[in-house]
C-alpha cells in the first residue's frame, strides 16, 4: 500500500544539466505511472531508484516537446531492457494524452523502425476549443492517425469531456479511479486526478463479541461488505460492525497552465494529499507567465487553496532558477523565493508547500480516520 511520487525533471522549456525536462513517477505497490516524459527522462530514470520496466501507464498532460520528446526513446529502452522470453508475454502499456499523441507515436516509432516487445495503446483525450488560443489548436487533419498501426499498437479509446462533471473518465479499476480535467495553456493541457478507492474500516471486534460472533469466515464476509444471518435469525449488517471506511488517497498532477477550466475539477481535487502544480516564474513576472500560459507561485497557491489541498508541490521552474546546489554567487534568481511566495499566499490555509527537485521522492501515507 505504499505510494510515492518521484520527480525526474523539474525544469521548464528544455532539459539542462541542472534540471531535467518534465517527468514524474507515481509509484504504488511497485507499479509505476509516468506523468509527462520530456527529453532525457529515460536517463533520469536510470539515475533514480526506479525501474523503467515497471512503467505500466503513461499520462501526457499536453503535447509540448518538453513534456513529450522523451517518450519514443523511453518506450524503446524499456523494451530493450525487458525480458524477451517469448513464454512470458509482457503486459500492455496504456498511454493517455491529448488528441494527436497517437499519430506522434505511430510516426516516431514507425519511421525509426522501433520494434517493441510489449503492446501499447494510446487513449486520446478530445480537447475543447477553450483550452488554448486558437493558434494552439491542432486541426483534425493534422492529428488524424492515418496509416497502418504500429505492429505492437492496439486500438485505444477516444475519450470526450463529460460535460456534467467537467472531466474525462480515464479508468476506474479495483484500486483507483483516474480522471482528467481541462487546463488553459498555449496548447490544450490537462490535469490528472488519481483517487484511490476507500477501503472498508476495521471490524468493531468488541461489538462482534457481544453479538456472539467468533473470529472466522464470518468476519471476512462482513469486512467484504456482505450481511450475515445469525443462527437465531438476526441479520448483522456490515455498517453496524465496521468502523468508518478508510478514505483513499488522492494525488492531483496538473500540466502546464495559467488556469483550471470550470469549477468542478476543483471539487474533484478537493482535499488532495498532493497537488502538483507548475510555477514557471515568480510573482513579479506574472504578466509574462500568463502570456505564455504559465503560472506563478501565487497562482498555484490559489488553486491549492480552492482545492483545500494538503500539500502543494511546485515544479516546472524556468531554467533561470537553479537548484540550491547549483547556485552561484551573483545569481539573482533564487528558487527558494518561489516557495516563499506560495507560502505567503497560503498563510493560515493549512496547505504545506514543497519545492520539487529532480529525484525528490515524496511519500503519500495512508490516511487514518483520526
Residues designated as active site? 66
DSSP conformational letter for 213: P
DSSP conformational letter for 245: P
Q: Are 117 and 87 in contact (CB under 8 A)?
A: no
Name which position in 124, 166, 256, 273 contacts Zn ion (CB under 5 A).
256
Give strand pairing partners of 98: 125
66 is an interface residue for Zn ion by CB under 5 A: yes
Q: Rounded to the nearest 5°, which phi and psi values hold at 127?
A: -75, 165
Q: Are 210 and 230 in contact (CB under 8 A)?
A: no
Given the rule CB under 5 A, which of 5-13, 76-84, 127-135, 246-254 is the region that contacts Zn ion?
Answer: 5-13
Burial of 137 (0-12, 13-18, 19+ CB in 10 A): middle
112 is an interface residue for its own copies by CB under 8 A: yes
55 is an interface residue for its own copies by CB under 8 A: no
Q: Are 214 and 195 in contact (CB under 8 A)?
A: no
Collapsing DSSP to helix, strand or coil, 134 comes out as helix
36 is an interface residue for Zn ion by CB under 5 A: no
Q: Which is nearer to its own copies, 147 or 220 (CB)?
A: 147
22 is an interface residue for its own copies by CB under 8 A: no
Q: Going by DSSP bridges, is the β-strand pair 93-98/250-254 parallel, antiparallel, or unpaired? A: unpaired
CA distance 315 to 308: 19
Q: Are 36 and 255 in contact (CB under 8 A)?
A: yes
How many residues in the shown chain lie near its own copies by CB under 8 A? 42
Mask of contacts with its own copies, 186-205, x by CB under 8 A? xx------------------
CB atoms within 10 A of CB 310: 18
Q: Rounded to the nearest 5°, which phi and psi values hold at 6?
A: -120, 130
277 is an interface residue for Zn ion by CB under 5 A: no
Residue 280 Cβ, how far from its own copies at the closest point, in Å? 13
CB atoms within 10 A of CB 113: 6
Name which position in 72, 127, 191, 255 contacts its own copies (CB under 8 A).
72
Q: Which is nearer to its own copies, 101 or 274 (CB)?
A: 101
First-residue to last-residue Cα distance in the chain: 19
Name which position in 6, 10, 22, 77 contacts its own copies (CB under 8 A).
77
Residue 143 Cβ, how far from its own copies at the closest point, in Å? 7
225 is an interface residue for its own copies by CB under 8 A: no
Given the rule CB under 8 A, which of 11-19, 26-34, 171-179, 358-366 is the region that contacts its own copies?
Answer: 11-19
64 is an interface residue for Zn ion by CB under 5 A: yes
CA distance 266 to 277: 13
117 is an interface residue for its own copies by CB under 8 A: no
Tell me which of its own copies, Zn ion, none is bound by residue 94, counting a contact when its beta carbon lies within the kind-specific cut-off of 5 to 8 angstroms. Answer: none
| Residues contributing to the site for Zn ion (CB under 5 A) | 12, 64, 66, 256
| Residues contributing to the site for its own copies (CB under 8 A) | 13-17, 21, 39-40, 42-43, 46-47, 63-66, 68-70, 72-73, 76-77, 80, 100, 103-104, 107-108, 110-114, 136, 138, 141-143, 147, 186-187
Amino acid at each position: 500500500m505504499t505510494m510515492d511520487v518521484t520527480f525526474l525533471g523539474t525544469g521548464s522549456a528544455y532539459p539542462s544539466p541542472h534540471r531535467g525536462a518534465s517527468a514524474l513517477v507515481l509509484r504504488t505497490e511497485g507499479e509505476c505511472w509516468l506523468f509527462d516524459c520530456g527529453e532525457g527522462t529515460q536517463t533520469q530514470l536510470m539515475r533514480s531508484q526506479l525501474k523503467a520496466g515497471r512503467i505500466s501507464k503513461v499520462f501526457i498532460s499536453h503535447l509540448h516537446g518538453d513534456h513529450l520528446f522523451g517518450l519514443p526513446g523511453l518506450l524503446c529502452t524499456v523494451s530493450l531492457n525487458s525480458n524477451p522470453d517469448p513464454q512470458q508475454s509482457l503486459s500492455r502499456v496504456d498511454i493517455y494524452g491529448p488528441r494527436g499523441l497517437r499519430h506522434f507515436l505511430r510516426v516516431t516509432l514507425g519511421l525509426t523502425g522501433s520494434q517493441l516487445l510489449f503492446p501499447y495503446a494510446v487513449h486520446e483525450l478530445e480537447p475543447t476549443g477553450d483550452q488554448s488560443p486558437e493558434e494552439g489548436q491542432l486541426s483534425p487533419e493534422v492529428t488524424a492517425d492515418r496509416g497502418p498501426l504500429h505492429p505492437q499498437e492496439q486500438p485505444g479509446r477516444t475519450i470526450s469531456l463529460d460535460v456534467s462533471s467537467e472531466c474525462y473518465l480515464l479508468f476506474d479499476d479495483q484500486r483507483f479511479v483516474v480522471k482528467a480535467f481541462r487546463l488553459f495553456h498555449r496548447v490544450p493541457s490537462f490535469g490528472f486526478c488519481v483517487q484511490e478507492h476507500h477501503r472498508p474500516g476495521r471490524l468493531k471486534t468488541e461489538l462482534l463479541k457481544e453479538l456472539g460472533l467468533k473470529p472466522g469466515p464470518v468476519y471476512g464476509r462482513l469486512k467484504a461488505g456482505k450481511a450475515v444471518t445469525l443462527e437465531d435469525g438476526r441479520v448483522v449488517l456490515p455498517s453496524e460492525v465496521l468502523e468508518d471506511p478508510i478514505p483513499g488517497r488522492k494525488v492531483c498532477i496538473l500540466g502546464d497552465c495559467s488556469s483550471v477550466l470550470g469549477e468542478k475539477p476543483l471539487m474533484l481535487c478537493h482535499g488532495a494529499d498532493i497537488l502538483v502544480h507548475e510555477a514557471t516564474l515568480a510573482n513579479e513576472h506574472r504578466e509574462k507567465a500568463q502570456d505564455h500560459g504559465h503560472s506563478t507561485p501565487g497562482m498555484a497557491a490559489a488553486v491549492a487553496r480552492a482545492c483545500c489541498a494538503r500539500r502543494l508541490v511546485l515544479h516546472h521552474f524556468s531554467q533561470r532558477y537553479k537548484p540550491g546546489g547549483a547556485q552561484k554567487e551573483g545569481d539573482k534568481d533564487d528558487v527558494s523565493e518561489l516557495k516563499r511566495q506560495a507560502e505567503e499566499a497560503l498563510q493560515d490555509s493549512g496547505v504545506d508547500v514543497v519545492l520539487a527537485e529532480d529525484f525528490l521522492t515524496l511519500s503519500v501515507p495512508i490516511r487514518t480516520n483520526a
